[in-house]
Structure 1
Amino acid sequence: MAHTSSCRLSISTMSLGYAMAGHTLEHRLRSAQKFGYEGIELFYDDLEHLAGCLPEDPQAPPPSPIAWTPSSHPPSNDQRLRAASLIREMCDTFGLTVLCLQPFRHFEGLLDRTLHKSRLTELELWCRLAGLLRTDLILIPSNFLPADQVTSDLDAIAQDLREAADLAASANPPVRICYEALAWGTAVSKWQESYDVVKRVDRINFGLCLDTFNMAARDYAEPALSSGGDSRASLSMDQSLRALVMTVDASRIFLVQAADGALNQIAMHDGHLHSEPALPQYLSWSRNHRLFCAETEQGASLPAMKILKAIFVDLGYRGWLSHELFNKQLSEADPHIPDQMAQRGARSWRRIVWNLRLPAGKIMKAQQGLSLPTVLSNDPLPS
């Protein structure tokens, strides 16, 4: 179910460090447990990495300890399924729920219908993986392939996603799908468009993922950059949130993801972001410069807390909140990264809970006694 009586904290596995930098999944899960998280969003890249570390022979036992160096060729589906079982065992060891498996990229609206059929077959595998992970949720982000590869017809997009929802509903056990508007999506880049798609799909197991970073990128950062001032940006964000509260059915929200960012990090140079000029501007900003919500000491300046207030307080959503942060720091090999990121996320969570007066006593008790500098019950927060 999307709603519970309290709010529960999760974090994306990629937000605790990247496998390619040497941060093992086991280390990251241990860090999540240490700092009071209840669940994780499993990034598929981490499952794929572990699958590549397993022996190809299904009868061969997994190495102990696991050698976290994958082979040079893609793993088989059997290796992926075994990896999912191992991840579930690790999560059980650390007392963590697998909230969802994500991201199932570049699915909806494909003009190449042969490729579309292939992706449906792949989604069947993902549903099997979800069952082994004991999660009932798969996240599909909006497609950001070039415009000559995807349709902009929302009815066609909804039809593809309806097909995915029906496939997921027929899985054993059944799976839900949540749809997220990426700020750099080709046809769907704003929450208003993703919610329109959710209504068109009209399936009980198909709902919305709201991400504070993507919402702020389009409804706050974009007008701030185009007008050169904060007043128009604030007006745009306020109008967007009023529409959210007036139109969205909270029961259709399956997941809320929290992230912040520094507006000055999206400064343009010769028409591109300085980080990765070949990428769309919001994708480069998202991939390299996300921060945890309300990390003002790190330069966070987006209205992420205001967005969360609209969702949790005004709409009354109750359920999971998951930190989803990408940052250049995550690719560093420093072995302290998982603990540092888990601690920063715990600090952010306590700020969110205090500022919005959320019912999250279990998590707050779990985090008592941790070394969380400047995090007190009266910690001053941005409005």
Structure 2
Amino acid sequence: MTVSTPATSVHGDLDQPSFSIASLSLGTNVHHNLPTKIRTASRLGYDAIEIFIPDFDAFVHEVGVGHHAEMFTEEDWLQVRATKDLELLCAKTIGRYCQEYGLVISCFQPFREYENFAGASRMAKTKMGSLPPRLQVALDRAESYLRLMPALQCDLLLVCSNLLPYDPITESYTERDYLDDQVAAFTELGQLASSYGVKIGHEALAWGTVVNRWEQVWEVVDRVDLPNVGVILDSFNQLGQQWADPSEPSGRRPLPPTVLSDNLLKLSRTIPVEKIFFYQVADAAKPGSPIQSFPTFPSRMAWSRKMRLFPMEEEGYLPVLDFTKTLKRMGYKGVWSLEVFNASLDSLDEKTVESHGQRGIDGLRKLHEACSHL
């Protein structure tokens, strides 16, 4: 096996952050497998890769039907026969494969549907002996991923907010009640994750039914007050919710011009930089015409799935540079990781992984250069 030199040894710039890319941003797993993505990311000079859980699941299925045999030894298969745990073997193999190619697994993502646990905070206040059943089921689901992470050699699980089947906020169950319940739920999750040596990063999605802004995520993280529970900031999701609006002809929310700068200043004065566990970077194209919103498929979700771009690409219109400069001024020195969904990822072309990876690393380098004179 030819292994590339880890990118961190060739940057020549001690101030440059670690560059990462989500495996999903290199092509759909329907046409492009995870080992190919890992090798390509390494060759192009990335330091790290986020493992998209559907990509990992696809790899496990492929192994189960006989693919990737060269990645396993006879001893590996004897272990699976003894433990009946193909998932764990695949996690160890992917962790080892990334290490051989000089990549850190920066994040395992996304853990979805960890939300809307009415009554969880009352349970915490009264110190009842058992958790609400739905919360316990969600924690069991979380543990099915947490148990794999030491084998992956990955210590960060991304937990995103969600589009819910209905809006739970009513006169009798307010947003305050909702966030109280999320604090109780994330306290339980953080404690569970600590037993595996894993951190939890909470991210607001732009189309989240209730949680869709960094302020809400920070309130939950701050009140949980555990060292392994922190904030994940995503330039697309925050700017796409608080600045942009793909359902408007202009592509922007009708807001005063100072709203963005005021919000970024507020962010810089609110979240301690050590509680920002991860930074995901993406821009987006402005829709040619307004995107209609539906209850089960909001306009921001449709826009996200098909029109994200890598940073510094000409078609992008979100103020990603301003957002990134804010984090740098705050002293953030963690990973910059690309999370780009786009219709182009569905291409069958075998060059898809290479072309998207190259666009991504070029964008990160341009973004870093644009921020380097602060």
The separation in 1 between residues aligned to 2:250 and 2:363, in whole angstroms, is 30
Pair 1:162-2:187 in alignment: yes
Pair 1:119-2:152 in alignment: no
Instruction: Note the 1:90-129 alignment, pairs <5 A.
Output: 90-111=97-118, 113-129=132-148
The structural deviation recorded for 1:264 is: 2.5
Give the conservation status (yes or no) of the 8 Å contact 1:221–1:263. no
Give the conservation status (yes or no) of the 8 Å contact 1:99–1:137. yes
Pair 1:288-2:306 in alignment: yes
Q: Amino acid of the residue matched to residue 107 of structure 1?
A: Y
Deviation by residue 1:282-305 (Cα, 9 ceiling, x = unmatched): 111111110011111xx1011011
Pair 1:11-2:29 in alignment: no
Q: Amino acid of the residue matched to residue 316 of structure 1?
A: G
The separation in 2 between residues aligned to 1:99 and 1:65, in whole angstroms, is 21
The separation in 2 between residues aligned to 1:266 and 1:175, in whole angstroms, is 43
Instruction: Note the 1:355-370 alignment, pairs <5 A.
Output: 355-357=370-372
Partner of 2:260: 237
| C-alpha RMSD of matched pairs (Å) | 2.8
CA 1:89–1:232 in 2, change beyond 3 Å: closer, same or farther? same
Correspondence for 2:272 among 239, 249, 253: 249
The separation in 2 between residues aligned to 1:142 and 1:180, in whole angstroms, is 6
Partner of 1:147: 166
Mark the runs of 5 or more structure 1 residues left unpaired by the alignment: 67-75, 360-383
CA 1:184–1:233 in 2, change beyond 3 Å: closer, same or farther? farther
Q: How many residues align?
A: 333
TM-score, normalized by length of structure 2?
0.82
**Secondary structure at the counterpart of residue 64 of structure 2:** coil
The separation in 2 between residues aligned to 1:91 and 1:291, in whole angstroms, is 25
Partner of 1:260: 283
**Secondary structure at the counterpart of residue 19 of structure 2:** strand
The structural deviation recorded for 1:214 is: 0.6
Give the conservation status (yes or no) of the 8 Å contact 1:220–1:234. no
CA 1:263–1:15 in 2, change beyond 3 Å: closer, same or farther? same
Correspondence for 2:45 among 23, 36, 56: 36
Instruction: Note the 1:1-383 alignment, pairs <5 A.
Output: 6-20=16-30, 22-55=31-64, 63-64=69-70, 78-111=85-118, 113-147=132-166, 152=175, 153-171=178-196, 174-222=197-245, 225=248, 232=255, 234-264=257-287, 267-268=290-291, 271-272=292-293, 278-296=296-314, 299-312=315-328, 314-357=329-372
The separation in 2 between residues aligned to 1:322 and 1:23, in whole angstroms, is 20
CA 1:83–1:230 in 2, change beyond 3 Å: closer, same or farther? same
Deviation by residue 1:53-105 (Cα, 9 ceiling, x = unmatched): 2338xxx9973379xxxxxxxxx982221221121122122111001111010
Deviation by residue 1:265-321 (Cα, 9 ceiling, x = unmatched): 5723xx338xxx95121111111110011111xx10110111000011x21100101
CA 1:226–1:109 in 2, change beyond 3 Å: closer, same or farther? farther
**Secondary structure at the counterpart of residue 162 of structure 2:** coil
CA 1:53–1:293 in 2, change beyond 3 Å: closer, same or farther? same
The separation in 1 between residues aligned to 2:298 and 2:361, in whole angstroms, is 30
The separation in 2 between residues aligned to 1:54 and 1:228, in whole angstroms, is 44
The structural deviation recorded for 1:245 is: 1.1
The separation in 1 between residues aligned to 2:67 and 2:354, in whole angstroms, is 30
CA 1:118–1:265 in 2, change beyond 3 Å: closer, same or farther? farther
**Secondary structure at the counterpart of residue 225 of structure 1:** coil
The structural deviation recorded for 1:110 is: 3.2
The structural deviation recorded for 1:106 is: 0.6
The structural deviation recorded for 1:138 is: 0.5
The structural deviation recorded for 1:357 is: 0.6
The separation in 2 between residues aligned to 1:101 and 1:168, in whole angstroms, is 13
TM-score, normalized by length of structure 1?
0.80
The separation in 1 between residues aligned to 2:356 and 2:212, in whole angstroms, is 28
CA 1:280–1:272 in 2, change beyond 3 Å: closer, same or farther? closer
The separation in 2 between residues aligned to 1:28 and 1:241, in whole angstroms, is 34
The structural deviation recorded for 1:187 is: 1.6
CA 1:223–1:291 in 2, change beyond 3 Å: closer, same or farther? closer
Deviation by residue 1:313-363 (Cα, 9 ceiling, x = unmatched): x2110010100000011011110011001100111011111111189xxxx
CA 1:358–1:333 in 2, change beyond 3 Å: closer, same or farther? farther
Give the conservation status (yes or no) of the 8 Å contact 2:311–2:363. yes
Mark the runs of 5 or more structure 2 residues left unpaired by the alignment: 1-13, 73-82, 120-131
The separation in 2 between residues aligned to 1:234 and 1:178, in whole angstroms, is 31
Identity among equivalent pairs (%): 32
**Secondary structure at the counterpart of residue 89 of structure 2:** helix
The structural deviation recorded for 1:224 is: 9.3
The separation in 2 between residues aligned to 1:354 and 1:114, in whole angstroms, is 50
